[in-house]
């Protein structure tokens, strides 16, 4: 089971790029002679594809999270094997034995879900750490270009929630942003590390009363 994916990594970058417009305290926009504020737009998807350091960050992220994904796959396979063994033995078990086995399986499922959540959180935190230098550079370039050309706003046409329906292609400054980024080169990424899940919390108290059949287990009457 892949706990993380390339889409997650792109999503972090996309969210940061789309937040760029006019930064508080940024240089004031220049008003055109006609009195109309200058505007432009970028395609964040294209910027992300061309951002220096993105491929390196993605490769480092995949490498660091490989042990985590491997561990999760082993845990999933082990859980499925236990469920399969129970389902084969269930017809020969008494009601009390089935309840006991299902309770045990349910506990293992809870443990698996808890570990998966811990690993997901650890991976997301590392993902954001890896992307921080890249997004800082992207945002700075966009702000620099906005200030240099006196744009009041720079919109994003590369998101699913874009409000731009139609625009003059002459207002598209995507290529300029990419060229500026390439001229700067990739930023320095954080040193490699191992993504490790947080320590498991205290054991949950035993469940009392009727026990529901764990997911994937069909209870026999």
The boundaries of the domain holding residue 147 are 6-184
Q: Is residue 1 part of a domain?
A: no
Q: How many CB atoms are closer than 10 A to CB 21?
A: 15
- Under the banding of pLDDT at 50, 70 and 90, the label for residue 28 is low
Q: Is residue 189 part of a domain?
A: no
Beta strands 151-156 and 38-42, pairing class = parallel
Q: Is residue 49 part of a domain?
A: yes
* Residue 136 and residue 56 in contact, taking contact as beta carbons nearer than 8 Å: no
Average pLDDT over residues 175-198: 87
What is the Cα–Cα distance from 13 to 120, expressed in whole angstroms? Answer: 18
- What's the pLDDT score for residue 216? 58
Mean pLDDT for all residues in the chain: 80
Q: Is residue 81 part of a domain?
A: yes
Pairwise pLDDT comparison (163 vs 173), residue with the higher score? 173
* Residue 159 and residue 20 in contact, taking contact as beta carbons nearer than 8 Å: no
What's the Rg (C-alpha) of the chain?
26
Per the DSSP assignment, residues forming a β-bridge with 172 are 41
- What's the pLDDT score for residue 12? 45
What is the Cα–Cα distance from 174 to 40, expressed in whole angstroms? Answer: 9
- What's the pLDDT score for residue 128? 94
Verdict on whether the full-model pTM lies above 0.75:
no
Q: Is residue 18 part of a domain?
A: yes
Q: How many CB atoms are closer than 10 A to CB 93?
A: 15
Q: Is residue 214 part of a domain?
A: no
| Residue range 90-112, pLDDT digits in tens | 999 999 999 999 999 999 999 99
Read off the CATH number of the domain in which 53 is found: 3.30.910.20
- What's the pLDDT score for residue 155? 92
- What's the pLDDT score for residue 210? 37
pLDDT at 133 over 60: yes
Residues 51, 16, 5, CA angle at the centre, nearest 5°? 70
- Give the dihedral of Cα atoms 175, 180, 184, 187; nearest 10 deg: -60
Q: Is residue 195 part of a domain?
A: no
Our count of domains for the chain comes to: 1
Q: Is residue 198 part of a domain?
A: no
């Amino acid at each position: 089971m892949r706990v993380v994916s390339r889409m997650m990594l792109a999503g972090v970058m996309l969210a940061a790029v789309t937040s760029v417009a006019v930064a508080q305290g940024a240089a004031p926009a220049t008003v055109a002679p006609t009195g109309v504020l200058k505007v432009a737009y970028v395609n964040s998807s294209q910027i992300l594809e061309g951002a220096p350091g993105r491929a390196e960050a993605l490769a480092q992220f995949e490498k660091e999270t490989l042990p985590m994904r491997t561990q999760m796959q082993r845990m999933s396979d082990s859980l499925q094997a236990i469920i399969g063994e129970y389902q084969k033995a269930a017809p020969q078990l008494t009601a009390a034995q089935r309840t006991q086995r299902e309770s045990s399986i349910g506990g293992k499922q809870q443990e698996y879900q808890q570990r998966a959540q811990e690993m997901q959180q650890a991976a997301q935190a590392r993902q954001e750490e890896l992307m921080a230098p890249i997004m800082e550079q992207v945002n700075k370039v966009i702000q620099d270009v906005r200030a240099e050309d006196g744009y009041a706003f720079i919109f994003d046409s590369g998101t699913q929630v874009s409000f731009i329906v139609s625009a003059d292609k002459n207002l598209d400054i995507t290529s300029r942003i990419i060229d500026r980024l390439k001229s700067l080169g990739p930023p320095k990424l954080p040193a490699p590390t191992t993504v490790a899940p947080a320590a498991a919390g205290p054991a949950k108290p035993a469940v009392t009363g009727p026990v529901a059949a764990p997911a994937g287990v069909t209870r026999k009457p």
